[in-house]
Structure 1
Amino acid sequence: MSSSSSSSSQEAFLAIYKEIESELLASLQSLPALSTNLKQQLVDYYSVCLPYTVPGGKMTRGLTVVRGVQVLKQRELTPAEYKDAAILGWMVEWLQAVFLVADDIMDASITRRGQPCWYQVPNVTQDNAINDALILENMIYQTIRRHFKSHPSYIHILDLFIDTTFQTEVGQHIDTNGTPYADGKRAPLDLSRFTLDRYRGCVRYKTCYYSFYLSCALALAYCGYDPNESSGEDGKSGGASLYKKAEDICMILGEYFQIQDDVLDAFASPEVLGKIGTDIEDAKCSWLVCKALELVTEEQKKILEEHYGKHDPEGVQKVKDLYRELKLQELYGDYEEEQKKICDGLIAQIEPENFQELFKFLLGKIYKREK
């Protein structure tokens, strides 16, 4: 896809966002038993909150839904089909916003997408931001009901969002409990909890489902593929097989994406990344620390014991220096090439063949990415 066609795709997609935003703000205006003044305060607040928290990223998750519907139908979409696919795509972006607003609070992050995290914005406050995440989540279901209540796949679409939200929240629990807490305070660092088993469980649930599988499954659902159909009338793979193959590839893509994210968190510049990485300070169970623990000598391990999980710039730098000493960036480079070969092989096995284009699109978006 050329840069000009990519730009026009994003412009068309953003136009649908503006329609959804207008609908949601209008629904606030119509709330019963509230004074005109209170309604206007709500509208004024969320007129700032929505464009600040929902758009602004690369929009890959949302555009994947549109691309998926296009490749499954094997033709240009009608205006009505495009709008439906884009609305579903924006609901994935909305879910992303829910998680980012909450995650930034939990991680005490400072910046997101090159600007202050939502809870850091003057006059928002942390308490408001927590409630905003809940309201953003509810807006997903309002929008799906408004536009898809009469669609044959309405229940399945709802189930996908309900299941994915739960899966991601389980992953977040595994992530935030990598280092235990006692009596409301962080317990002493326990490096034994940083294992690749914990890491893979966290990634599968926290990243793979909502960042990759949800978009692909929504495209299948919208196009009428039944997840319970074992084979089609023509004897070819039915819906169940397509969903399973999509899930298998998305689990690999999601793990690859998150490991990539961990490496960028430690080594990419904030200007390029759009945020300040805090995985070391937050004692995250990242791929880097898990791999480091497999390779360190007892002497090197002391660096992690003394400095991992502390908000000390000099200590953070010592951990990063250790990662370099262990050549973890080079190990990641080898891993990246291996994962690409695995994904290429799995993608080649997908039928119908046109559905392969969606996963080639996703792989192309993340292979060798720098932010």
Structure 2
Amino acid sequence: MSTDKAAFLSIYKQIESDLLSDISNLPGLSSELKRQLIEYYSTCLPYTVPGGKMTRGLTVIKGVEVLKGRALTEEEYKHAAILGWQVEWLQAFFLVADDIMDASITRRGQPCWYQRPNVTQDNAINDALILENMIYQTLRRHFKSHPSYVALLELFIDTTFRTEIGQHIDTNGTPYAEGKRAALDLSRFTLDRYRGCVRYKTSYYSFYLSCALALAYCGYDQDSDEGKQLYQKAEDVCMRLGEYFQIQDDVLDAYAPPEVLGKIGTDIEDAKCSWLVCKALEMVNDDQKQILVNHYGRHDAEGVQKVKELYKELKLEELFHEYEEEQKKKCDELIAKIEPESFRELFTFLLGKIYKRQK
């Protein structure tokens, strides 16, 4: 049941219906204005929230299941699925905003939300904020009387803050000297910056949040001795999983075809502080570095190709495969230390989802 996408999607429809009802019940608006709002968000929500692999959401259900050590009751499944969908809602909020910041064209094989007809960039920014607010509307609706309500709220608040710090490190890691796009300061592309960005922008919301929500829902208190140890071990594994996942993402951005990846990779054009460019800068000679100086961060197809050829010359893809096997081994070692043993199954599940993924 925990990985049944059809059952999970049925919960999404219930949440969507409730949220649209909230809009229709807003006081002081004419029936015509409400009709327009419902029409707009009846398109926005299914376009931006479902449609991905849903691993983050399904992980919450899997986590509750392994912590309970049995099949979930109907109510437990519904609660876990609702929490899982709130992680997917958080993802939607981040992606709608991130696509605008990166001037991306496609997401999940279709135009980014802000690129849609009749959706302006200004509307999309507001839509991202509404998607975030809907998380708290839903949590209040279903968990206000639950003993873990405050813990669940705090996990979303803390994770959102950390992810936004990571986004700042990422966007501020496009280091144009004195604000001039013509002069790219490559000295700020370091693995130190990269690791800080990954930890905060990816690891917490993509891995740790789902595991921590399962712990909180099942009554594990972060301040108790047992709870503190469980949350810490979960965080240790998730930080490593997140770094591995993001480095995979960077490699796929450069090497995977768009029809497989589901989006057009633009890290080179956007001058992203990616693992590939950070590793390249550690390895290049002066002539090779000049290729990056001349072409990294420019929207020029020929220049992008020259950067990719440099990556090939430096054998960065081969280096990644070595790194991948090393990370798999380290993750297995960390997972083996987790108690209770049943909880290990959750992290084995997560590692299995990303090991050697192709998109």
Q: TM-score, normalised by structure 2?
A: 0.98
Secondary structure of 2:119 counterpart: coil
Give, in whole Å, the separation in 2 of the partners of 1:290 and 1:186.
19
- Measured on the aligned residues, the alpha-carbon RMSD in Å equals 1.1
Cα contact 1:179–1:186 (8 A) shared by 2: no
- Structure 1 segment 133-172 matched on structure 2, within 5 A: 133-172=128-167
Residue in 2 that maps onto 1:267: 255
Q: Distance in 2 between matches of 1:151 and 1:29?
A: 27
**Which residue is 2:215 aligned to?**
220
Q: CA offset at residue 182 of structure 1?
A: 7.2
**1:322 is the counterpart of 2:314:** no
Q: Tell me if the contact between 1:66 and 1:219 (Cα under 8 Å) persists in the aligned partners.
A: yes
Structure 1: gaps spanning 5 or more residues: 231-237
1:205-240 C-alpha deviation (Å, 9 max, x unpaired): 00000000000000000000000001xxxxxxx010
Q: Structure 2 matches for 1:293-304, cutoff 5 A?
A: 293-304=281-292
Separation of aligned partners in 1, 2:123 and 2:175: 27
Separation (CA, whole Å) in 2 of partners of 1:242 and 1:135? 33
Gap change, CA 1:216 and 1:196, over 3 Å in 2: same
**Take 1:149 and 1:185, find their aligned partners in 2: how far apart are those partners?**
49
Match for residue 361 of structure 1 among 341, 349, 356: 349
Correspondence for 1:186: 181
Amino acid at match of 2:271: A
Q: What residue number does 1:343 align with?
A: 331
Alignment of 1:281-296 (within 5 A): 281-296=269-284
Which whole-Å CA distance do the structure 1 matches of 2:251 and 2:149 have between them? 39
Following the alignment from structure 1 to structure 2, what is the Cα–Cα distance between the partners of residues 190 and 183? 10
1:106 equivalenced with 2:94 (yes/no):
no
1:206 maps to what in 2?
Answer: 201
Specify the code of the residue in structure 1 equivalent to 2:17. S
C-alpha displacement of 1:335: 0.2
The aligned residue for residue 313 of structure 1 is: 301
1:115 to 110, 119, 123: 110
1:252 to 240, 258, 263: 240
Contact (CA 8 Å) 1:179, 1:187: kept in 2 or not?
Answer: no
Corresponding letter in the other structure for 2:142: H
TM-superposed deviation, 1:187: 6.0
Distance 2:111 2:305 in 1: 23
Residue 179 of structure 1 deviates from its aligned partner by 2.2
Q: What is the alpha-carbon distance in structure 1 between the residues aligned to residue 181 and residue 69 of structure 2? A: 53
Specify the code of the residue in structure 2 equivalent to 1:153.
Answer: S
Q: CA deviation at 1:99?
A: 0.4
Select which of 73, 88, 92 maps to 1:93. Answer: 88
Classify 1:184/1:370 alpha carbon distance in 2 versus 1 (closer, same or farther; 3 Å).
Answer: same
Q: Which runs of 4+ in 1 moved over 6 A?
A: none
The whole-number CA distance in structure 2 between the counterparts of 1:308 and 1:187 is 11
Distance 1:111 1:57 in 2: 13
Shift of 1:184: 6.5
Matches within 5 A, 1:6-17: 9-17=4-12
Q: Distance in 2 between matches of 1:18 and 1:181?
A: 44
Q: How far apart are residue 306 of structure 1 and its match?
A: 0.1
Between the aligned partners of 2:222 and 2:321, the Cα distance in structure 1 is 36
Who is 1:240 aligned against?
228
* Residue in structure 2 matching 1:24, options 13, 19, 24: 19
Q: Secondary structure, in 3 states, of the residue corresponding to 2:357?
A: coil
User: Does the 8 Å contact 2:176/2:184 carry over to 1?
Assistant: no
* Equivalent-residue separation in structure 1 for 2:251 and 2:189 (angstroms): 16
Question: Are the structure 2 counterparts of residues 187 and 240 from structure 1 closer, same or farther at C-alpha, using a change threshold of 3 Å?
Answer: farther
Q: How does 1:48-63 map to 2 (within 5 A)?
A: 48-63=43-58
Shift of 1:188: 1.5
**Sequence identity percentage:** 79
| Offset from partner CA, 1:190-216 (integer Å, 9 cap, x none) | 000000000000000000000000000
TM-score, normalised with respect to structure 1: 0.95
Query: Secondary structure of the equivalent of 2:269?
Result: coil
The 2-side partners of 1:174 and 1:264 are apart by 21
Corresponding position of 1:174: 169
Counterpart-to-counterpart distance in 1, 2:274 and 2:46: 31
